[in-house]
Chains A and B, each alone.
Chain A
C-alpha cells in the first residue's frame, strides 16, 4: 500500500479494476468507482492537479498488486468528470487536469458563506489570507491552488458577489 493517508475502497486492490472492462454494465460500475475514488483521493490529499503522464502517482499505480491504470483510460475518466464540472483540462493535450471535488459553483458558495460568517463584506481580502493564512488552516479551502481560487472568485464575480482584484501589488477580492 502506498504511503498515502487514504481510505482506499475495496476496488483499489482488486486487480481487474485496472483493466477497462468490456461488458457495458460492468464498465459503468468500474468508471463510477474510479470517478469517486479520484475525487475522494484528491480531497483527502488536497490534490488540485493531476498529470496523466505521471506514472508513479499512487492513485493510478498500485505497486502492491503491480497494476496500473492506462493513461488513455485515465483521460477518458477525467473527461467524464469534466461533464459534471468536477475536472477541467489545463493544457491543450489534456495531460494536466484540475480536479474539483467540489465544483466551482460549490466552492463559490462555500467561500461566500465563510466571508459572510466572518463579516468580511466590503473589505478587500487577499488571496493569501483566504487560502494560505495559518488562521484558516481548518477551513475546507485551505491550501487551494491560486488558479482554482481565481476561477472560484470569477464565478462569484459573475454572481455579482465580489470584485476580483489582480494588480501587481494586490491580489485579492472585495466581497459584497
Chain B
C-alpha cells in the first residue's frame, strides 16, 4: 500500500490544509486592506476634487452629472449627506432647493394639467421662476430627475415616468400609473395630445377592454378629458401634452 492510511498521514494532511487556509485568509485580508486603502485614497481625492471644483459643480450641469455618476459608482451619495464633509459643498442643498421648486411648479400647474407635466415644461417654468435670483445656475433635465426622484420618499405622490427617447413626465398626484398608461401617454404625445380607444388598441395590439380600462383610469385620475363631439368616436385628451395649455400661464 502506497497511500498513507495511518494516523500520521491523516495528521499530516490536516496540517497542510490548515496551512493553506491560513495563507488564504492572509491573502484575502491583505487584498481587503489594500482595497480599503485604495477606496480611502479615492474618497479623499474625490473630496479634494469636489472642493476644488465646487463652483464648477454648482454652475455646470454637465459637470454636475458626471460628478454625480462618479460618486454613485463608489457608493457616495452627496444628496443624502446633509452632515459632515459633503454639506460643506452644498450639493445636497442645491437638489433640495430644486425639489422644493419642482413641487411649487407642479402645484401651480395642477389646476390645468391634473398633476401631470412634461419634464420640458417643468424645466421651462422652474427656470422662469428662479429667474430673479442673483446666482444664476443652469438646470439640466438630469438635475431635475435627480431632485424629483428624491421626492419619492413622500410616498407615491411623486413619480418620474419615462416616455422613451430621453422624454419624461412628472406626476405630482397620488395614483399609480402602469406601463399601459405611460404607453398611452406616449401615443397621445405623437398624436396632438389625444387618442381614441380603437386607435390605441390598433397601434398597441391590445384587446378593446384593455384600452378602455387604461383610458378610463386616466379620466378618473383627472389626467384625461373626454371629447364626445368627434365625428367618429370618443377622443381622450391630455391637457399636460396639449401645446396651448403648456404655453399658457393661467
Contacts and interface: CB of A to CB of B under 8 A. Distances in A.
Interface in A16-34: 16-19, 21-23, 25-26, 29-30
Contacts, number: 55
Contact of B226 (A9, A13, A21, A66): A21
A18 B237 CA distance: 12
Interface in B206-250: 219-220, 222, 225-230, 235, 237, 239, 242, 244-245, 247-248, 250
A120 B9 CA distance: 129
A161 interface: no
A14 B245 contact: yes
A10 B242 contact: yes
B78 interface: no
Contacts of B245: 10-11, 14
Given A21-B225, A22-B226, A10 B237 contact: no
A23 B236 CA distance: 13
A22 B215 CA distance: 14
Nearest to B112: A29
B250 A26 contact: no
Contacts of B112: 29
Contact of B250 (A10, A16, A17, A67): A10
Given A22-B226, A26-B219, 8 more contacts: A10-B245, A10-B250, A14-B244, A15-B229, A15-B235, A19-B225, A19-B226, A26-B225
Interface of B: 111-112, 114, 194, 219-220, 222, 225-230, 235, 237, 239, 242, 244-245, 247-248, 250
12 contacts: A10-B242, A10-B244, A10-B245, A13-B244, A14-B237, A14-B244, A15-B227, A17-B225, A25-B222, A26-B114, A26-B222, A66-B229
